[in-house]
Homo-oligomer: A and B are copies of this chain.
Amino acid sequence: MERKRSDNIAEELEGLILGGVFTPGERLDEVQLADRFAVSRTPLREAFHRLALSGLVEHIPHRGTFVRQPGPVELIEMFEVMAELEATCARLAAARITDEALDDMRATNARCLAAVEAADHDGYYHENERFHAILYRQSGNGFLEGECLRLHKRLMPFRRMQLRLRGRLRQSMSEHEAIVEALQRGAADEAAEALRAHVAVQGEKFHHLMAGLKQAAE
């Protein structure tokens, strides 16, 4: 294993946690991981702090660093907040959005649709992310944009899970089109409501998915 930097370590650890190698609540052993990555404990602690910033792990003084995979309840709550934040973006963007951005959203949407046709999940995911990123930017509120990106990233693995649900992709696409349409008309409340519903439904779908998995495990 090649020599790592703390940046890479944080990234790799993120992958391991999201990949399910470390179970939620598990303590991340510093010496063990230091040995695994062939580095000392110091950069590992740095990496832990970075993961704590994105909320993936929790550090308790004199106790250790623990995997903080959110449970179903907290996840629903996070989707609820995400829905509100995106709705706010939409409300603000409806008044401020530029024609260029509207065109960009339409183009992104088109590429998104193409990805759906080609069953290209990664492509869909990428374009979908771009669609939302444009919306955040067009809110005109840089702080709001940052908070949205942060939460969006944190929900990333859970959004990804539900892409497998049949028919969800196409439904999501038509929702995107309705959003663009409302933004173009400058209908703030309508756009906000469309976004709220668009994100909220993801939380619900996820809930169903989780319930299904739980049932299957029993």
Contacts and interface: CB of A to CB of B under 8 A. Distances in A.
A142 interface: yes
A144 interface: yes
B52 A143 contact: no
Interface of A is mostly: helix
A135 B77 CA distance: 16
Interface residues of A, number: 22
A84 interface: yes
Instruction: List the number of copies, as a whole number.
Output: 2
Nearest to A84: B88
A176 to B, nearest CB: 22
A92 to B, nearest CB: 8
A29 interface: no
A141 B81 contact: yes
Contacts of A52: 49, 53
A80 B141 CA distance: 8
Contacts of A141: 77, 80-81
Interface in A57-90: 61, 73-74, 77-78, 80-81, 84-85, 88
14 contacts: A7-B61, A42-B42, A46-B49, A49-B49, A49-B52, A52-B53, A53-B53, A74-B142, A77-B141, A77-B144, A80-B141, A81-B141, A84-B84, A84-B88
B7 A81 contact: no
Contacts of A7: 61
A147 interface: yes
Contact of A81 (B42, B80, B147): B147
Closest 10 CB pairs of A and B: A77-B143, A49-B49, A84-B88, A77-B141, A81-B144, A78-B143, A74-B143, A81-B143, A80-B141, A77-B142
A74 B52 CA distance: 24
Nearest to A45: B46
